[in-house]
Copies of this chain bind each other. A is one copy, B any other.
Amino acid sequence: MFDPVEKLKEFVRHASVSTDPTAKAGMAGARDFIAGLLAEIGFKVEVVATALHPVILAERAAPAGCPHVIIYGHYDVQPADPLNLWSSPAFEPEVRDGRIYGRGTADNKGPLLTHVTAVARLLAERPDLPLRITFMIEGEEEMGSPSFPKFLNDYRDRLKQADLVLLSDTGSPDADQIVITCGLRGLVLSEVRVTGPRTDLHSGLHGGVLRNPIQAVAELCASLHSPDGRVNIPGFYDDVLEVEQWERDELKRLGGDEEAYRKFLGIPAFHPTAGYTPFECTRYLPTLEFNGIGGGYQGEGSKTVIPSKAFVKISCRLVANQDPVKIRALLHKTIAERMPKDVTFEIIEQHNAVPYVVVPPDRPNTPADQRPALAATFRAADRAIAEVFGKAPIYLREGGSVPIIADIKRELGLDSVMIGLFLPEDNLHAPDESFHLGVMEKGIRASMRILADLADGK
């Protein structure tokens, strides 16, 4: 049986930066590495071409009627620059103090190899394990997975036979306390561009006679929140499900020091939605944020101009059961209604709308509408994590959006069990990225138990 740490070093040495067109050798090397490893442990491996970086699809057959789990991961990594801030070279992995350092160790090569190793060990122990396993490993996650929806669509008939997706590409608060992410916020992105006069104007000669497009943008933005922190778009909250008591209870188990969080953010005071704690706001409520605003003179000092144009970039994070298409329509309708008639404007949709995701974990008082295998996996994960890590997992929704989870739900109808294996100090997307080897070894053991229990119908 291979040593997972040595295998991880080998994996990390391939500089698989998907956004870097000069990193072709690294991408191919990482792909060949993981494809070879899966073939070595008995999987039938296909390398599926896409418009850019291929997806690896590896299957272990099992008798009809066995449960079927898809394990998701990605073999691409973030760029490593600024290189001079690394303590050891980004693509020459090094173990120090119980951690392995290198780009991609935590995101996502280490967590992916955790599951690959678990599968390898389990199959070595039980070659006839009654479990169908499919590895689905993409190479474009760090660029927003542009080819992934088409891949899912192309392979829908095969993949939708599965019972669930298991993955570890989320985080946990510390090495003892694992979080299972059971919800992600959706996302709608729009840009509003306002035009006033046809050209920039002298603010002395023409000031006072027309509405400045900056004023129009500012008045629009100011209208989009109420003083209590809520989003001021009629109908915005209509479909929002109230957070359930068990979710508030889980969040209390996580703990969290509000004052420490405030200091981390560096703000004088929070501005939460009335009736919710700051930690509840980021996980359970929808938002409308301004991601960028611009217009007129941006340089040092002053220029007495009335600009021709101004813009604002808006994003909304959505929660269950907000439909992103409906919310986008409400946003655009509100903008159109509130825009004064003395300027012109256009609204640019910046991205496909990403729906919220809620994975119903098998908890008391939650609807048990998931497939039996999904419910079984949650029970198995709860047991395995409690035993191996010493504490039961916490089930939380996250504030971010992971489009592939929504893609998988939409294209395949499958829910995802997201077991967090990276930690806040792992420096994802930053210099000195590392992965905690204790978490890796415990993760292997927990994954083995989960998969074994799933096979055994426990």
A residues adjacent to B (C-beta < 8 A): 185, 187, 189, 191, 196-199, 201-212, 214-215, 217-223, 225, 229, 265-273, 278-279, 281-282, 285-287, 289-298, 301-307, 310, 312-313, 315, 317, 340-344, 350-351, 398-401
Q: Is the CB of B204 within 8 A of A399?
A: yes
Which listed residue, B266, B273, B302, touches A291 by the CB 8 Å rule?
A: B302
Known: A282-B207, A342-B267. A302 touches B351 (CB 8 A): yes
Given contacts A198-B267, A208-B285, A270-B342, list 10 more A-B pairs with CB under 8 A: A198-B265, A203-B289, A203-B291, A204-B399, A208-B399, A217-B293, A218-B290, A269-B342, A292-B297, A301-B350
Q: Is the CB of A291 within 8 A of B304?
A: yes
- Give chain B residues whose Cβ lies under 8 Å from the Cβ of A218: 217-222, 290, 293, 312
Known: A205-B282, A218-B293, A296-B291. A211 touches B266 (CB 8 A): no
- Give chain B residues whose Cβ lies under 8 Å from the Cβ of A215: 221-222, 225, 290
A201 vs B290: C-alpha distance in the bound complex, in angstroms? 12
- Give chain B residues whose Cβ lies under 8 Å from the Cβ of A306: 289, 291
A205 vs B181: C-alpha distance in the bound complex, in angstroms? 13
What is the CB-to-nearest-CB distance from A447 to chain B, in angstroms, rounded to a whole number? 26
Known: A290-B296, A291-B307, A297-B291. A342 touches B271 (CB 8 A): yes
Q: Is the CB of B297 within 8 A of A203?
A: no
Known: A219-B222, A304-B189. A295 touches B292 (CB 8 A): yes
- Give chain B residues whose Cβ lies under 8 Å from the Cβ of A286: 208
- Interchain residue pairs with CB less than 8 A apart (18): A197-B267, A198-B265, A198-B267, A205-B399, A205-B400, A207-B289, A208-B272, A208-B399, A210-B265, A212-B289, A214-B221, A214-B293, A219-B221, A289-B304, A291-B296, A293-B295, A294-B294, A303-B313
Known: A298-B294, A351-B302. A272 touches B205 (CB 8 A): no
Which of A211, A225, A343: most chain B Cβ within 10 A? A211
- Give chain B residues whose Cβ lies under 8 Å from the Cβ of A187: 204, 304
Q: Is the CB of B265 within 8 A of A291?
A: no
Q: Is the CB of A268 within 8 A of B341?
A: yes
A191 vs B273: C-alpha distance in the bound complex, in angstroms? 30
Closest B-chain residue to A296, C-beta based? B292
- Give chain B residues whose Cβ lies under 8 Å from the Cβ of A285: 208
What is the CB-to-nearest-CB distance from A227 to chain B, in angstroms, rounded to a whole number? 9
What is the CB-to-nearest-CB distance from A59 to chain B, in angstroms, rounded to a whole number? 33
Closest B-chain residue to A189, C-beta based? B302
Which listed residue, B199, B220, B305, B315, touches A203 by the CB 8 Å rule?
A: B315
What is the CB-to-nearest-CB distance from A28 to chain B, in angstroms, rounded to a whole number? 28
Q: Is the CB of B307 within 8 A of A292?
A: yes
Known: A208-B281, A296-B293. A197 touches B265 (CB 8 A): yes
Q: Is the CB of B212 within 8 A of A273?
A: no
Closest B-chain residue to A429, C-beta based? B202
A267 vs B209: C-alpha distance in the bound complex, in angstroms? 10
Which listed residue, B197, B205, B266, touches A198 by the CB 8 Å rule?
A: B266
A217 vs B212: C-alpha distance in the bound complex, in angstroms? 15
Closest B-chain residue to A344, C-beta based? B268
Smallest CB-CB A-B distances: 5 pairs: A198-B266, A204-B400, A218-B221, A222-B222, A292-B296
Which listed residue, B201, B302, B340, touches A315 by the CB 8 Å rule?
A: B302
What is the CB-to-nearest-CB distance from A213 to chain B, in angstroms, rounded to a whole number? 9
What is the CB-to-nearest-CB distance from A259 to chain B, in angstroms, rounded to a whole number? 13
A287 vs B207: C-alpha distance in the bound complex, in angstroms? 6
A201 vs B273: C-alpha distance in the bound complex, in angstroms? 18
A271 vs B339: C-alpha distance in the bound complex, in angstroms? 13
